[in-house]
Amino acid sequence: MLTRLMALAASGLLLSACGTTDPAPPPPPRLHHQIVFVSTRAGGRQLHVMNADGTQVRRILIHSAGEASTPSVSPDGLRIVFNLNADIYVVNADGSGETRLTTGGIFNGEPVWSPDGMRIAFSSQRDGNNEIYVMNADGSSQVNLTQNAAEDYSPAWSPDGTRIAFTSNRDGNADIYVMSAAGGPALPLTTDPTSDYQPAWSPDGQRIAFGSSRDGGNDLFVMKADGSSVTRIPAPTGNLAYNRWSPDGTRLVLQCPDQPANGTTDICTVQPDGSAFTHLAADSLSYDLFPTWSP
């Protein structure tokens, strides 16, 4: 027995000397239940991240070549896809490894990850008008899903990955539509004579939040996923935009007017019933824009 223990110890020393027992490299940076947004507080429109309560704001990416917008975090929290000028890029959660996914000098924007992390839906003007496209996560196999003469934009995946909701003016004004994630016929979920836009699916797939001017301003509404039971989310201020659900479905993060109002924008959260409306990381000298929640 003693001889065997001595042999194991000697083997361990030999492995250590050969370097095979060196500690494993640290895991890659991962975002978890944090809010990614764009802010001008560091000059230009740069990617930032903060905790869900608005603390520990930090800049992710410094990009001198243009202005970022519409970030979306991958389902594993490891990557962020975003719009920069007229194209779509992806970076690691710490801002490293930037890769361009679209090219061509035509607007490509509003990227959003599929729930399985394998694809990215986005809008593009490469066919002369805004259309909904989908591509693989590495930028390959870019396919037009809508193929319609109308303006189609702001795609949003259903949580099960089978459908995509989007905004379209194909019936004369902006409404919310839904189609298969493989393309094909699109069905209207709203038919209001005013504008409905920027759909966001709840994590349980039961509801869709969206912006609307149907009450005379830019307010936040929620409906069932089939378009029924439309209700306004009461909020102490109007001019709300770009809403996204928290991973647990209890809150929405959105772009809201600065408080006190001075013409800039903040990031706010609100519960679906309109309660607990909260300003996060307010900076009266900057614009905070395009918030999204990480998984």
Confidence of residue 1 (pLDDT cuts 50, 70, 90): very low
pLDDT digits (tens, 9 = 90+) for 75-120: 999 999 999 989 999 999 999 999 999 997 899 999 999 999 999 9
∠ CA 85-169-210, rounded to 5° = 75
Question: From its phi and psi, is residue 289 left (phi > 0), alpha (psi between -120 and 50) or beta?
Answer: beta
278-280 and 265-270 beta bridge pairing: antiparallel
Q: Which residues contact 260 (CB under 8 A, 6 or more apart)?
A: 284
% of the chain exceeding 70 in pLDDT? 91
CB atoms within 10 A of CB 70: 21
- Of 60, 111, 104, 58, nearest to 89 by C-alpha is 111
Whether this model's pTM surpasses 0.75: yes
The reported pLDDT for the residue numbered 4 is: 45
Distance of alpha carbon 177 from alpha carbon 175, whole angstroms: 6
pLDDT of residue 238: 81
Q: Residue type at 198? A: Q
Q: Which amino acid is at 191?
A: T
- Classified as helix, coil or strand, 31 is coil
pLDDT at residue 16 tops 50? no
